């Protein structure tokens, strides 16, 4: 640029004055060209000096290397020297430049030391010089050493062999590592596969995704939605006098209802269902175009919803009634057993109808049981389980009371199947002449018109408490259920008696109960106050002042089903009189609903001694989560609730505790199709 400016200046001057060209040329030479000549020459001189210094340093380094090699040869063998030389051949000489270029590993680098720009420049120039030297030597030889090693020196051959050995060793180690990793992954996959349920194998395959839900009901739900909307549009079409559309909707509605039938899954639909859905879709689209009114459709759907809810409530009520009926009635097979045994009993001569050891019936030193039942099979299980688990069966006496319909069957069963050395006696409650309506308030109440209406007109809207079906249990009409309040009258010569329900199973010897000190109480029973629904306020009406003034709503309830009664204290406390008093006060069922537990809680209030819970475990007739250990360690297990063990409603996991005491191979049971 300076030269150009100088020339432009010369041109200007030449234009101005041609006579002064020579002095101007001399001036330009000394001002521009002379410095250029000086700097070029200076650069060439420095380059020569650098090359001389480089050759000198190289000669110096070669001299040092020769001296070091000579010293090493005197200390080590040739093989060791060749190995060291080969190992350092890839890294180059161990000097400061090697550290700066990072040829060594990170552990050799000096932390905190930065390489200057000048050192970088020197290292780069040295590297270029080395590369140029190698290329020059290769050009002189006329070939590269990539493939042809015929003229290699022994040292190079040794280095190449060592490199090949190292590479082979590394490759072998990598293969071993890969094998270890593969083996580890395979073992992990095997462990994971053990946790997969074999019953669903294949479900995770991609081709099975569409078939995961075998019982899909998406089409069924679509058809039900179409039926609902069709009914809505039929009603709207009728109100708007669209008779043709109404008729078409009714035809399609009937077709799709027939196609749907009772199906609950898509697999149960006929092949023509898809065509019916398409046809219904077309008609619904047509109806939507002509009749759709958001407010009107919403009103129709709301009305249908209310109607459906009312139907659900009615069906739930009906279902509750049917479940109560199924739970409280005697199955056909047991009824068959009772009829066959009754016929056989009345064919027996009078002298063969008596049980042995009748002298034990009033012996106060023996263990007496009271069992009131109209179920032959259930009573047999109670007696069999008690005798089989008793240490000395000869000391046990069973007092059975039944009604006149089952009196012959009960006698005949135990005549055919005597309880070993134990004593048994069967009585008919209808032969207790003292138990009449003038003496028993509950018997008088059962004969009233209001009680008959309560039972037989349960759906009447004026009947109090008609919504609660469980209080209309047919057993409440039987005096067998209320006979437990008249034990001293039934057995006047006994001091203690153990009352047992017919839905229990005895699993241990019960003789220890007669030695339990009741501390002056009348009733020995297991308390059931572990949960709130077993408190007094769940059985009694505490809004009535007679109840609220005399009883604690949080008092613990106790279980009927296995109760030790001290009949001496009973007579002193006049327990039967207390029961009659409260029963008369509850004639309008204002104090409690029907049943025997509420009047029992009132009658024995403050007169009940709590027994250990292991004597009596309850809930096997309604609670599916009773602890198995409690059941196995219990002396008596109780199937209280609707799911009695002799019914199809029974819970399967509890039924074996009862069935193992049933003689299913008995010819009477086989003839009535009674089986496990």
In this predicted model, what pLDDT tens digit does every residue of 328-354 receive, in sequence order?
677 889 989 999 999 999 999 988 999
Tokens of 46: 């420095």
Tokens 């799911």, residue located:
643
How far apart CA 461 and CA 179 sit, in angstroms, is 83
Give Cα 391 distance to the centre of its chain: 44
Q: Return the pLDDT at 542.
A: 87
**CA dihedral in degrees (276, 277, 279, 285; nearest 10)?**
160
**Among the ranges 10-19, 433-442, 444-453, 602-611, which has the highest mean pLDDT value?**
602-611
pLDDT in tens, 428-483: 999 999 998 889 888 888 777 777 676 666 554 444 444 455 555 556 667 888 89
pLDDT in tens, 391-432: 999 999 999 999 999 999 999 999 999 998 999 999 999 999
Q: If you average pLDDT over every residue of the chain, what do you get?
A: 77
In the chain, the percentage of residues whose pLDDT exceeds 90 is 33
Residue 74 above 60 pLDDT? no
How far apart CA 620 and CA 658 sit, in angstroms, is 11
Determine contact, residues 360/389, Cβ cutoff 8 Å: no
Determine contact, residues 235/307, Cβ cutoff 8 Å: no
How far apart CA 442 and CA 586 sit, in angstroms, is 10
**Among the ranges 199-203, 465-469, 590-594, which has the highest mean pLDDT value?**
590-594
Determine contact, residues 458/466, Cβ cutoff 8 Å: yes
**CA dihedral in degrees (25, 26, 31, 35; nearest 10)?**
110
The mean per-residue pLDDT over the stretch 155-171 comes to: 85
The mean per-residue pLDDT over the stretch 247-274 comes to: 88
CA 275 to each of CA 61, 79, 231, 236, 456: distance values in angstroms, whole numbers, following the listed order: 99, 92, 19, 25, 51
How far apart CA 612 and CA 626 sit, in angstroms, is 17
Q: Return the pLDDT at 70.
A: 63
Residue 37 above 90 pLDDT? no
**Cα angle value 473/479/485 (rounded, 5°):** 105
How far apart CA 635 and CA 562 sit, in angstroms, is 10
How many other CB atoms are found less than 10 A from the CB of residue 559? 24
How far apart CA 586 and CA 558 sit, in angstroms, is 21
Tokens of 645: 């063990």
Q: Return the pLDDT at 112.
A: 43
Helix H or strand E encompassing 638: strand 636-638
Q: Return the pLDDT at 402.
A: 95
How many other CB atoms are found less than 10 A from the CB of residue 433? 6
Q: How many helices (H) and strands (E) does the chain have?
A: 25, 10
Tokens of 371: 């069992």
Q: Return the pLDDT at 116.
A: 44
**Cα angle value 510/669/429 (rounded, 5°):** 55
pLDDT in tens, 544-570: 888 888 888 888 889 899 999 999 999
Residue 133 above 50 pLDDT? no
Q: Is the pTM of this model over 0.75?
A: no
Confidence of residue 380 (pLDDT cuts 50, 70, 90): very high
Encode 258-324 in three state secondary structure: HHHCCCCCHHHCCCCHHHHHHHHHHHHHHHHHHHCCHHHHHHHHHHHHHHHHHHHHHHHHHHHHHHH
How many other CB atoms are found less than 10 A from the CB of residue 435? 17
Beta-sheet strands, E only, within 430-509: 496-500, 504-506
Tokens 């007092």, residue located:
399
Residue 516 above 90 pLDDT? yes
In this structure, what are the phi and psi dihedrals at residue 9, rounded to the nearest 5 degrees? -65, -40
Q: Is residue 517 classed as helix, strand or coil in its secondary structure?
A: coil
Partner residues linked to 610 by β-bridges = 525
How far apart CA 166 and CA 173 sit, in angstroms, is 11
Q: What is the largest CA-CA distance in the chain?
A: 180
Q: Return the pLDDT at 497.
A: 96
How far apart CA 409 and CA 669 sit, in angstroms, is 13
Those residues whose C-beta lies under 8 Å from the C-beta of residue 611, and which sit 6 or more positions away, are 513, 516, 524, 525, 526, 564
Q: At what angle do helices 243-260 and 273-291 cross, to 10 degrees?
A: 150
Higher pLDDT, 314 or 13: 314
How many other CB atoms are found less than 10 A from the CB of residue 668? 19
Residue 111 above 50 pLDDT? no
Q: Return the pLDDT at 517.
A: 93
Q: Return the pLDDT at 94.
A: 47
Tokens of 321: 């009634």
């Amino acid at each position: 640029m300076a030269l150009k400016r100088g020339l432009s200046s010369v041109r200007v001057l030449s234009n101005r004055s041609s006579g002064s060209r020579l002095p101007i040329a001399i001036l330009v030479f000394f001002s521009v060209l002379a410095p250029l000549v000086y700097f070029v020459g200076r650069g060439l001189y420095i380059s020569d000096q650098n090359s001389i210094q480089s050759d000198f340093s190289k000669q110096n380094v070669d001299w040092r290397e020769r001296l070091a090699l000579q010293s090493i040869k005197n200390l080590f063998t040739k093989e060791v020297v060749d190995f060291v030389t080969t190992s350092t051949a890839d890294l180059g000489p161990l000097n400061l430049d090697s550290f700066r270029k990072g040829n060594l590993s990170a552990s050799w680098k000096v932390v905190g030391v930065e390489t200057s720009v000048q050192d970088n420049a020197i290292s780069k120039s040295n590297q270029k010089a080395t590369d140029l030297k190698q290329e020059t030597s290769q050009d002189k030889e006329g070939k590269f050493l990539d493939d042809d090693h015929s003229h290699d020196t022994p040292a190079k051959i040794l280095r190449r062999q060592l490199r090949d050995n190292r590479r082979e060793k590394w490759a072998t180690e990598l293969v071993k590592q890969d094998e270890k990793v593969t083996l580890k992954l395979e073992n992990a996959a095997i462990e994971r596969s053990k946790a997969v349920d074999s019953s669903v194998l294949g479900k995770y395959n991609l081709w099975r995704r569409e078939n995961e839900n075998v019982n899909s009901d998406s089409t069924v739900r679509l058809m039900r939605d179409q039926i609902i909307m069709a009914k809505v549009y039929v009603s709207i079409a009728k109100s708007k006098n669209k008779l043709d559309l109404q008729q078409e909707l009714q035809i399609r509605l009937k077709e799709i209802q027939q196609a749907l039938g009772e199906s609950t899954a898509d697999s149960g639909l006929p092949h023509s269902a898809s065509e019916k859905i398409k046809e219904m879709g077309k008609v619904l689209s047509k109806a939507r175009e002509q009749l759709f009114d958001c407010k009107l459709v919403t009103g129709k759907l709301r009305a249908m919803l209310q109607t459906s809810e009312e139907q659900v409530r009615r069906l739930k009520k009906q279902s509750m009634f049917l479940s109560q009926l199924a739970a409280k009635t005697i199955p056909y097979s047991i009824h068959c057993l009772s009829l066959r045994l009754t016929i056989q009993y009345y064919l027996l001569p009078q002298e063969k109808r008596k049980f042995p050891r009748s002298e034990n019936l009033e012996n106060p030193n023996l263990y007496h049981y009271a069992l009131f039942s109209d179920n032959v099979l259930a009573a047999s299980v109670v007696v069999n389980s008690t005798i089989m688990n008793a240490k000395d069966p000869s000391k046990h006496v069973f007092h059975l009371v039944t009604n006149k319909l089952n009196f012959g069957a009960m006698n005949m069963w135990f005549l055919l199947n005597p309880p070993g050395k134990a004593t048994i006696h069967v009585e008919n409650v209808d032969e207790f002449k003292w138990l009449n309506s003038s003496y028993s308030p509950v018997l008088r109440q059962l004969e009233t018109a209001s009680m008959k209406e309560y039972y037989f007109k349960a759906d009447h809207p004026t009947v109090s408490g008609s919504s609660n079906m469980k209080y209309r249990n047919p057993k409440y009409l039987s005096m067998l259920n209320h006979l437990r309040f008249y034990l001293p009258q039934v057995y006047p010569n006994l001091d203690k008696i153990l009352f047992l329900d017919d839905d229990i199973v005895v699993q241990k010897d019960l003789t220890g109960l007669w030695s339990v000190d009741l501390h002056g109480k009348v009733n020995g029973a297991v308390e059931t106050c572990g949960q709130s629904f077993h408190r007094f306020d769940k059985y009694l009406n505490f809004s009535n002042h007679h109840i609220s003034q005399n009883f604690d709503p949080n008092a613990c309830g106790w279980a009927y089903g296995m109760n030790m009664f001290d009949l001496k204290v009973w007579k002193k406390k006049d327990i039967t009189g207390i029961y009659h008093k409260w029963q008369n006060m509850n004639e309008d069922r204002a104090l409690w609903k029907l049943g025997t537990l509420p009047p029992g809680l009132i009658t024995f209030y403050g007169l009940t001694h709590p027994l250990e819970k292991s004597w009596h475990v309850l809930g096997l007739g309604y609670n599916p989560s009773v602890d198995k250990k409690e059941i196995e360690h219990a002396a008596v297990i109780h199937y209280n609730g609707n799911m009695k063990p002799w019914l199809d409603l029974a819970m399967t996991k509890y039924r074996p505790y009862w069935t193992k005491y049933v003689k299913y191979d008995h010819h009477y049971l086989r003839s009535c199709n009674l089986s496990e």
